[in-house]
């Protein structure tokens, strides 16, 4: 690819995939509301807030693809999630349509299905069961992606990102862990795979205990089971969202 634009580039996921994207893009434009430092000659950094379609259109003109990571990253009051995640995604998709950018990769989340029991293996085709308001916002993000693929012909890939950590931090993450290496692999695959209309994939390492089906394409390399002995004393969650699926995690944002 010639040019890829990545929003939310200063965040956890952006940091994990930055080097991998440099390998497939001659020009990588990194956008965030926080200041960034250019690391290679092929990178450009832009400090911006994605608060309008016009602003985003100016950032993505001439791009071959957009990786959209910017947004509210966890449970929050619903108005904040609607503004940061849903409206922000709409600004990106509409800017892609206006600027003629053919492909958009959207950061979705495993929290979109966090109320499924841990005993169930979930595929992307199964109905959403969000574990909170954050998960609800990601349902809307995927619906917007589907709309722009069906109605306007954009190529949209939604990656339901697992628990991105250097190592699994608790018993739940023995199922949900996503290593930084595998995270980069999933995003590179989402940018470079052919014949994409609309596609939803779980981005999770090859964990023996994983909750979610892996789709074709990138095959993850790491398995949380290598860290199981360290976490063997912990009990796994009844629901896939674990503590995120409990009432207390959302009630504090409903005042």
Select from 58, 61, 59, 19 the least CA-distant residue to 42: 19
Active site residues: 134
**CA dist., res. 24 & res. 15, Å (int):** 16
With a CB cutoff of 8 Å and minimum separation 6, the contacts of 225 are 174, 207, 208, 209
**CA dist., res. 133 & res. 76, Å (int):** 7
Select from 54, 16, 14, 177 the least CA-distant residue to 29: 14
**CA dist., res. 201 & res. 113, Å (int):** 13
**CA dist., res. 120 & res. 131, Å (int):** 15
Helix (H, G, I), strand (E, B) or coil at 5: strand
Measure Cα distances from 172 to 12, 163, 237 in Å.
19, 9, 6
**CA dist., res. 79 & res. 83, Å (int):** 6
DSSP state of 207: -
């Amino acid at each position: 690819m010639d040019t890829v634009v990545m929003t939310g580039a200063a965040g956890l996921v952006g940091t994990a995939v930055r080097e991998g994207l440099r390998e497939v893009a001659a020009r990588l434009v990194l956008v965030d509301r926080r200041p960034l430092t250019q690391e290679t000659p092929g990178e450009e950094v832009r400090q911006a807030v994605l608060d309008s379609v016009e602003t985003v259109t100016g950032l993505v003109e001439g791009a071959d693809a957009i990786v959209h990571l910017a947004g509210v990253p966890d449970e929050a009051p619903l108005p904040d999630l609607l503004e940061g995640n849903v409206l922000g995604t709409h600004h990106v998709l509409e800017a892609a349509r206006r600027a003629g950018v053919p492909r958009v990769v959207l950061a979705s989340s495993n929290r979109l299905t966090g109320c499924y029991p841990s005993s169930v293996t979930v595929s992307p085709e199964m109905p959403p069961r969000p574990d909170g308001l954050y998960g609800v916002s990601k349902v809307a993000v995927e619906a917007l992606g589907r709309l722009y693929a069906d109605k306007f012909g954009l190529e949209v890939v939604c990656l339901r990102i697992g628990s991105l950590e250097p190592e699994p931090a608790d018993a739940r993450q023995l199922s949900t862990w996503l290593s930084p290496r595998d995270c980069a692999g999933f995003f590179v695959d989402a940018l470079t795979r052919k014949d994409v209309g609309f596609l939803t994939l779980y981005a999770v390492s090859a964990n023996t205990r994983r909750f979610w089906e892996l789709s074709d394409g990138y095959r993850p390399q790491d398995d949380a089971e290598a860290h199981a002995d360290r976490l063997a004393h912990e009990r796994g969650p009844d629901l896939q969202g674990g503590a995120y699926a409990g009432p207390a995690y959302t009630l504090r944002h409903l005042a």
